[in-house]
Chains A and B, each alone.
Chain A
Amino acid sequence: MTQFIFLIIKAAIIFFFCVGLAAMLIWGERKFAGWMQSRVGPNYAGPAGVLQTFGDLAKLIRKEDVIPDTVDRLVFRMAPYILWVPAAVTMALIPFGPMDARIFSWSTDLVVARFDAGIVLFLAMGSLAVYGIVFAGWSSNSKWSLMGALRSGAQMISYELSMGLSLVGVMILAGSMNFVTIVDYQAGAFWHWNFIPQIVGFMIFFIASIAELNRTPFDLPEAEQELVAGFMTEYTGMRWGIFMFSEYVNMIVMSAIMATLFFGGWQAPFESWNVVPGFVWLIIKMMFFIFMYMWIRWTVPRYRYNQLMDIGWKVMFPLALANLAITALIVTVK
């Protein structure tokens, strides 16, 4: 019974952590873009504009919710949630600290779900998210939306493959698909972390994750300069807000996965630094990747559709296969 209560509490904490961090990230990204572009960014709401997101949220909720006449209403309304619920689910797999941690007199695992097929679940949820975009594009009954959705479908399929393959290397090394086991495998200082033997896998995963997140240079589904707003063209008000929000939730999840699988999760870079609680290290690592995402987004132009496919199928997929083969060979020989 205590464990069940703990589970509820942990799930609630993770959920609100995700939502709160996403809200901060929206502000953070705008501020960051401001610095990149030699301007100030949001600075009116609260100190340095931190409350900007909440102001925007209030505005978006109060806005008229326009649903065009010709849309498929059910699917149109469903799409935003399909996009962001899977992302939030994945967050349950991330361990935030050691197992059997003592909190006062109770002991609990600092992870919501100690799930043995963790990586598979993550990939499955990632594949589900594309339905959100495709549904949004299809049900909008607009040509721009449809094109965005089609691009997104093609893009996700070609990048999910190399993403999955790049994780197999980690699975082979750790001998498990459970996130907790993978983190335990990387115990010790930073030279035990997976990114050193799996540097190729990590690079592939990072690039594929940008494509999964639909961020520049792979933001073709919502390419503003070409497709107006891609799959979101017909959305207004809070529904549009949820799309935006889910982008940031997805970003948090992706960076958490990367930190967990390749950078030792909640482990400190040196064993003696483990006095600092594990979740602090995890958040620091996540922030680093989120910073990388933002940095890339505000710097580079976008790939063309056929170039994106070329990179996915002709460069990343063979590389991921080669990486997998070499990892398997080395592990077998050892």
Chain B
Amino acid sequence: MSAPVEEHVEQPVSRPTLEELKERKEKSRQRVREDAEVLTVSMGPHHPSTHGVFRVDLDLDGEVIVATRPEIGNLHRGMEKLAEYRTYHQVIPLTDRLHYVASFAQNEGFCEAVEKLMGIEAPPRARFIRSMGHEMCRIANHLLWLGIHIMDFGAITFQQICFREREYMMDLWEMLCGARLTHSFCRIGGVAKDIPDGFEEKMRAAIETIPIRLREYDRLIRNNRIFLKRAKGIGIFTSEDCAAWRITGPALRAAGVERDLRKNEPFAAYPELDFEVAVEYDADVYARYLVRMREMYESCKIIAQCLDRMPDGPVLAEDAFHVIPAKKDVMRSSAAMIQDFVHVFRGPQVPPGEVYKAVETPHGELAFYIVSDGGPKPQRLRISTPCYYHCQATPALFEGEMLADIVGIFGSVDVCLGSCDR
């Protein structure tokens, strides 16, 4: 199920061709000597910059990486197995813990998959709230990423500043669902709640402030010679490599491939929203930075559109067999109470079959594969997380690079070990 990568179309002069990129990649990699005397070091799992509990054995020739052997699984929580013992409703909080920086995106992906299996659709208002949630996650995730990424190159202050802006999104999430990290806000057939009073004004203020701050950061980073020197031309991963290692998300778009599931396989309210997919062509760490920055600007625009175009109406589908009723109805109508009872104690009715559904999360394409035998619990749940593939590609990404750069390169593909290990 590796993503179909489109043909690399003819680029204008400024855009490097695949051959040029390969040449650059060859040049940027320090030559690994055949007779190198290697020093093997174990990097992680408690190394400060492996973004979690990633461990990798590095064979070093001086400072040049000769070979890498990644090891994952330190954060394995058996999520896929746990899901087999829970009803579909109860799996939603589990998906939060996949990638705890953008948990709503994972919730939504799971709910989309289940809805596809059930053959139901969320009402329009819920779909707009979902799109908005996705973009809020994207901004929060990319801001966190930006801070950590610059910190990987040694500038510590940046991380703190980015956290300040991320706080806007965290506060808004708190307002929306009471949680800052593990939202569990999505429901099968809609979302948990309608947006509260005062949310819209706060959100509009936030999406006005964030682009201003982003431009400030952009100026700081783009004028920073040390960062440019460090980030340009390292970690080149061409569209071919991306297809071979199934690298998705911003890293793929930085390699010149215009693939974004929000456009290619639209979900939530994305078909009704206008936005551009950020694409860069240099395929290096700096290009990935540019893609993420542009995505944040776009996200702010999408949120504004969501707020403008959001129709009135219910936020949960009216479907007694598949949808858990809203809490306020449970206390008032006996039918809703019975529905709630059945859903909580038995679970939803799901037709037998299997389903695969992928969504675009901030760090790449997240897919859920569900096999149902008709019971209230999934017979099998498999999660294909982008971070797993990103970790898998580390040998190809690291080899021939210098030790100082690999933390930056590893960060530039954006890896969350919670999502990788599941």
Contacts and interface: CB of A to CB of B under 8 A. Distances in A.
B347 to A, nearest CB: 46
Nearest to B405: A304
B229 interface: yes
Contacts of B402: 304-306
A147 B227 CA distance: 23
Interface string B212-238: 000000000000101101100000000
B48 A228 contact: yes
A143 B39 contact: yes
B404 A301 contact: no
Given A224-B48, A226-B403, A302 B160 contact: no
Given A38-B164, A217-B226, A228-B48, A305 B156 contact: no
B183 to A, nearest CB: 26
Contacts, number: 78
Given A38-B161, A38-B164, A301 B39 contact: no
Interface string B32-63: 00000001010000011100000000000001
A301 B160 contact: no
A90 B39 CA distance: 38
A304 B231 CA distance: 10
A224 B49 CA distance: 8
A216 B151 CA distance: 12
Interface in A230-282: none
B112 interface: no
Nearest to A36: B157
B297 interface: no
Contacts of A33: 156-157
A301 B161 contact: no
Contacts of A39: 160
Interface residues of A, number: 27
Interface string B153-190: 11111001100100000000000000000000000000
Contacts of B226: 217, 300-303
Contacts of A144: 41
B407 interface: yes
Contacts of B157: 33, 36-37, 298-299
A3 interface: no
Contacts of B39: 143
A301 B403 CA distance: 16
Given A38-B164, A301-B224, A304-B404, A226 B155 contact: no
Contacts of B160: 37-39
A223 interface: yes
A153 to B, nearest CB: 13
A119 B153 CA distance: 35
Nearest to B42: A143
Contacts of B48: 224-225, 228
A296 to B, nearest CB: 11
A301 B155 contact: yes
A216 B154 contact: yes
A299 B220 CA distance: 10
B230 A305 contact: no
Contacts of B407: 225-226
A39 B156 CA distance: 13
A223 B161 contact: no
B150 interface: yes
Contacts of A160: none
A300 B41 CA distance: 28
17 contacts: A36-B157, A37-B156, A38-B164, A39-B160, A143-B41, A217-B154, A225-B48, A225-B49, A225-B154, A298-B156, A298-B157, A300-B224, A301-B224, A302-B230, A303-B226, A305-B403, A307-B229
Interchain residue pairs A-B with the least CB separation, the first 5: A302-B154, A37-B160, A301-B153, A301-B155, A301-B154
Interface of A: 33, 36-39, 143-144, 147, 216-217, 219-220, 223-226, 228, 298-307
